[in-house]
Amino acid sequence: MPLTLDSVSRTMLHDLAVSVLLAANTDAGTSVFAPRDWPEDPSMFPALAVQTPTERKEALTRGPREFTTMITLAVMVRVTSDSAGDTDVALERLCFQVEDAILSSVDIMLMVQQIARVETSMVVEAGGEGPIGEAAIIFDCEVFQVYVTADVPLTDIALTFTDQSTGNTLAVVDAAPFQDPLSAAAGPSLTAAGGGLIFADPQT
């Protein structure tokens, strides 16, 4: 039977983080990207890139498919300025804005059980048109996940009636398409009469 995730997913957390950062009015403004679309041109900095690259599940029980899951939410930061000192200041400022936006978001706090860890790494390097500052801010987000069996609608049913004493097949009832069995007109019926079986199909 197919399974479906009936709880928080990486995609849900990613999309919410993007919305939060766009609404936070950071120095990056609307320059919030997926990593594959991240601009390389310094004229487009400051910019942010959001991804959820890793996920680790730990089972809660041996039975139901329930997990405590750690989703890594990563926000990449790029800035530039006229000098290395100014670039470092701009990088620190934008990193703080990102942390503040994520950690103070009520919507994110309601989605996760906790943000277990935040790790930030920063570097400023000389670029062709000036120094470029880059940072990676990692949020380890703990969520509860449960997988449930997807509902598969019952559309057809076939019944075979066999004489227990002889093993002979008395009747085969193909009740397709399946209808509400509580309905009087649900489908074919089979009743006993005079030692035999009477097959009745209300559709005919």
- Rounded Cα distance between 117 and 93, Å, is 20
pLDDT digits (tens, 9 = 90+) for 22-63: 999 999 999 999 877 888 888 899 999 999 999 999 988 776
Model pTM? 0.69
What was the pLDDT predicted at 152?
Answer: 56
For 166, what's the count of Cα atoms within 13 Å in the CB-facing half-sphere? 6
Q: When comparing pLDDT for 65 and 175, which is higher?
A: 65
- Rounded Cα distance between 17 and 11, Å, is 10
Residue 109, helix vs strand vs coil: helix
Q: Which two tokens stand for residue 114?
A: 């906790």
pLDDT digits (tens, 9 = 90+) for 71-126: 999 999 999 998 999 999 999 999 999 999 999 999 999 999 999 999 999 999 98
Location of structure tokens 């849900």: 12
Q: Which domains does the chain have, with CATH numbers?
A: 3-149 (3.30.70.1700), 158-200 (no CATH)
- Rounded Cα distance between 196 and 204, Å, is 21
Contacts of 177 (CB under 8 A, 6+ apart): 155, 156
Query: In whole angstroms, how far apart are CA 66 and each of 54, 145, 149?
Result: 18, 6, 12
What was the pLDDT predicted at 201?
Answer: 52
Does the structure show a pLDDT above 50 at 141? yes
Residue 182's pLDDT band (cuts 50, 70, 90) = very low
Q: Which two tokens stand for residue 180?
A: 């509400």
